[in-house]
A and B are shown apart, each in its own frame.
Chain A
Amino acid sequence: MNLHEVSRLLDGSILTGSRREDIEIDRAYAVDLLSDVLALTDERTTLITGNISPQVVRVADILNVIAIIFVRGKRPNESAISYAETLGIPIVWTKKTMFETCGLMYANGVRPCKNRPMAAPES
């Protein structure tokens, strides 16, 4: 599904990047801890988070994340939004919980993005 459809599914709004609302959202990763985001493998993924610290957009930028969905009605501040705008990273904002957001997106065919295991796999 594309960004516009995701936003509608979540009763959300697109805070920036409305001109890119046709980009395809096919992979997602849901997390509040930034170090875990930084362990993501190099894939075209969307980040679902309730973390609105100023670092989130910077991390998304470093990782080439294609869009950010802020959940729980947590709205990033204006400087974060305009920073994302200059980088061309669309932001969706929804009042839904992270659980419901994941549930609805998963039910509509969005699949998980891989990340590096937290530690070596059990042998």
Chain B
Amino acid sequence: MQEPAHGGARKLVHHVRAGDIEHGGLASAQIKRQLSGLGVAPQDARRAGIIAFEAEMNLVVYATNGGTITVAVSERFIDIEVEDAGPGIEDIDQALTPGFSTAPPWARELGFGAGMGLTNIKANADWFEIHSHIGSGTRILCRIERRRHDASGHRPTTRA
């Protein structure tokens, strides 16, 4: 889905269903493609795709009723917001520890549950926030600063 947002930003909204392993990950692949279509640099689209994928699979595996991934693209930023309505994370610090996972055995056998999901999300975001409460759900906010296109393809170290 794609809809115009305020301030000239483009907004992409994807709903993710709980337990839908068959389609899990498709929204993220689509997000990456949509971002590329909006002129986002391949490296930035890749980072956003990784964040979205980990978040999407978290919604599939853990969220009671699935959730929503919202991506807003402006000239300087890609903002990704992931929201669900529960169950919520008991201990956020523990969830952020690389290798820690509460994935059920069926998810592990599919290759999930390495305990790297939130770590991967954090590593690909320039700014990351997570809020979670048992009962009310989890909200993750990520921001990627878009690299500027220049001839060398490198990211400028200073900004005008």
Contact = CB atoms under 8 A, between A and B. Distances in A.
B53 interface: yes
9 contacts: A35-B115, A36-B116, A39-B119, A53-B111, A55-B57, A58-B25, A58-B28, A62-B49, A63-B50
A118 B110 contact: no
Closest 7 CB pairs of A and B: A62-B49, A58-B25, A35-B116, A35-B114, A55-B25, A33-B114, A51-B111
Interface of A: 32-36, 38-39, 42, 51, 53-56, 58-59, 61-64, 116, 118-119
Interface string B13-49: 0000000011111101100100000000011001001
B24 A54 contact: yes
Nearest to A60: B29
Nearest to B50: A38
A33 B49 CA distance: 17
B32 A33 contact: no
Give the contact-size bracket for chain B: 20 to 34
A36 B108 CA distance: 13
A39 B28 CA distance: 16
Interface of B: 21-26, 28-29, 32, 42-43, 46, 49-50, 53-54, 57, 98-99, 110-117, 119-120, 123
Contacts of A35: 54, 112-117, 120
A61 B21 contact: no
Q: Decide if the interface of chain A is mainly helix, strand, loop or mixed.
A: loop
B114 A61 contact: no
A121 B88 CA distance: 30
A33 B112 CA distance: 6
A42 B155 CA distance: 15
A80 to B, nearest CB: 11
A39 B50 CA distance: 9
